[in-house]
């Protein structure tokens, strides 16, 4: 258990650009694992939970034994076991039947505080801990929205063969060969928006204690998480740019959407750059690398109390 650290006291928003080359950034279970698509615009999607999974995996990998950096929702995690540890630490005398109900407010806070102090992802994203053994509910300061590709993507289906069969009957009927499918996006640049609500980190009652160090680790994870998530399905994925807006105060100094509007993506071809969807780009070949795009950040006349950080 770590000593209690002060929570983040300044609001942040961030824009994350990542790209995929010949891979499937996030399969859609409803569409036979095809890359997720917005059916109205054909823009590619990556769900918030997919990104959070990668952040958790990165933190588990990068801080394996650091106190207070355990990952609650880990692969193969034992949720109720962790609740039980919280109970054991805070109320070792509690009987099992007492633990089915939410204890008195102060005790519940003690339980959740213990969970927050030990688990990085609970401190960050929050968690519903009302399973069986009741340890309350925490709302984390960090909130991620769906990532969306800046232009429509066209998923391709690639048929592949395997020179071995799984079952004996397959081996006989198919001559030992089986075929499979892979779905890839040839290239896609995705943009995700994130929010860090400082009061949910630093508020005396509702705060999870998500600290400036935790925030730095979050941004580190956003920068490197794809480097440790290599697989046959993903192709080449990489974080291309992270733009952070840091407010001077907990409640913020400007509307989030006006800050996000300052980050623009342009299509680039042979030295020309145009807004995405501009008529001039009609005959351009499809984007196939990050050099076909340019990301700009308008720093002119930033609202007072807002600073832009590009790590």
Partner 1 sequence: MPHHRVRWRPSVGYGIKLHVWGDRACFTRPEMKVERVSYDVMTPSAARGILDAILWKPQMRWIVERIHVLRPIRFQSLRRNEVGDKASSALTERAMQTGSTAGLGLVVEEKRQQRAATLLTNVAYVIEARFELTDKAGRDDTPAKYLSMFNRRAASGQCFHRPCLGTREFPADFALLTEDAPLPASTLPAEHRDRDLGWMLHDIMGPGRVSQFFRARLTGGVLDVRACLAEGTVT
Residues found near partner 1 in the complex (CB under 8 A): 28-30, 36, 38-40, 47-49, 73-81, 84, 96-97, 99-100, 131-133, 139, 141, 143-146, 148, 193, 195, 197, 199-200, 249, 251-258
Nearer to partner 1, 73 or 165 (CB): 73
Contact 147, 46 (CB under 8 A): yes
Q: Which is nearer to partner 1, 84 or 274 (CB)?
A: 84
Query: Please, which residue, 258 or 289, has the CB nearer to partner 1?
Result: 258
* CB neighbours of residue 227 within 10 Å: 11
For the bound state, the minimum distance from the C-beta of residue 294 to partner 1, rounded and expressed in Å, comes to 24
Any idea which residue has 């769906």 for tokens?
Answer: 146
Nearer to partner 1, 29 or 204 (CB): 29
Which one, 64 or 132, has the nearer CB to partner 1? 132
Closest approach of Cβ 267 to partner 1, in Å? 22
Both structure tokens of 87 = 């109970």
CB of 252 to partner 1, least distance (A): 5
Coil, helix or strand at residue 42? coil
Q: Per the structure block, which two tokens stand in for 59? A: 């933190």
Closest approach of partner 1 to the CB of residue 146, in Å: 7
The total of other beta-carbon atoms located within 10 Å of residue 81's CB is 9
How far are the Cα atoms of 55, 100, 183, 258, 262 from residue 228, in angstroms, in the given order? 10, 39, 21, 33, 30
The closest of 63, 62, 83, 69 to 118, measured between CA atoms, is: 69
Report the nearest approach of partner 1 to the CB of residue 65 (Å): 21
**Could you tell me if 181 and 114 are in contact, meaning their C-beta atoms sit under 8 angstroms apart?**
no
Q: Which burial class, exposed, middle or buried, applies to 63 when counting CB atoms under 10 A from its CB (0-12, 13-18, 19+)?
A: middle
CB closer to partner 1 out of 82 and 281 = 82
- Residue 126 Cβ vs partner 1, minimum distance, rounded to whole Å: 8
């Amino acid at each position: 258990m770590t000593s209690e650290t002060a929570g983040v006291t300044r609001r942040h928003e961030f824009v994350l650009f990542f790209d995929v080359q010949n891979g499937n950034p996030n399969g859609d279970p409803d569409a036979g694992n095809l890359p997720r698509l917005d059916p109205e615009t054909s823009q590619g999607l990556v769900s918030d939970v997919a990104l959070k999974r990668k952040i958790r995996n990165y933190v588990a990998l990068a801080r394996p034994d650091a106190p207070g950096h355990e990952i609650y929702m880990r692969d193969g995690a034992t949720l109720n076991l962790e609740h039980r540890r919280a109970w054991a630490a805070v109320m070792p005398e509690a009987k099992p039947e007492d633990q089915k109900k939410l204890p008195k407010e102060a005790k519940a806070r003690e339980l959740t505080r213990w969970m927050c102090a030990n688990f990085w992802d609970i401190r960050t994203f929050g968690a519903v801990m009302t399973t069986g053994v009741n340890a309350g509910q925490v709302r984390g300061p960090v909130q991620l929205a769906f990532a969306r590709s800046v232009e429509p993507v066209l998923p391709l289906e690639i048929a592949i063969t395997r020179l071995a069969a799984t079952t004996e009957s397959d081996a006989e009927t198919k001559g030992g060969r089986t075929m499979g499918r892979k779905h890839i996006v040839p290239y896609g640049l995705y943009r995700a928006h994130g929010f860090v609500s400082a009061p949910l980190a630093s508020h005396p009652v509702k705060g999870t204690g998500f600290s400036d160090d935790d925030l730095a680790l979050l941004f580190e994870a956003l920068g490197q998480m794809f480097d440790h998530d290599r697989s046959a399905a993903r192709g080449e994925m990489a974080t291309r740019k992270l733009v952070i807006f840091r407010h001077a105060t907990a409640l913020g100094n400007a509307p989030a959407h006006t800050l996000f509007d300052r980050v623009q993506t342009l299509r680039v071809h042979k030295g020309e750059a145009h807004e995405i969807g501009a008529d001039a780009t009609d005959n351009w070949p499809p984007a196939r690398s990050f050099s076909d795009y340019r990301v700009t950040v308008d720093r002119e006349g930033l609202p007072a109390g807002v600073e832009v950080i590009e790590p």
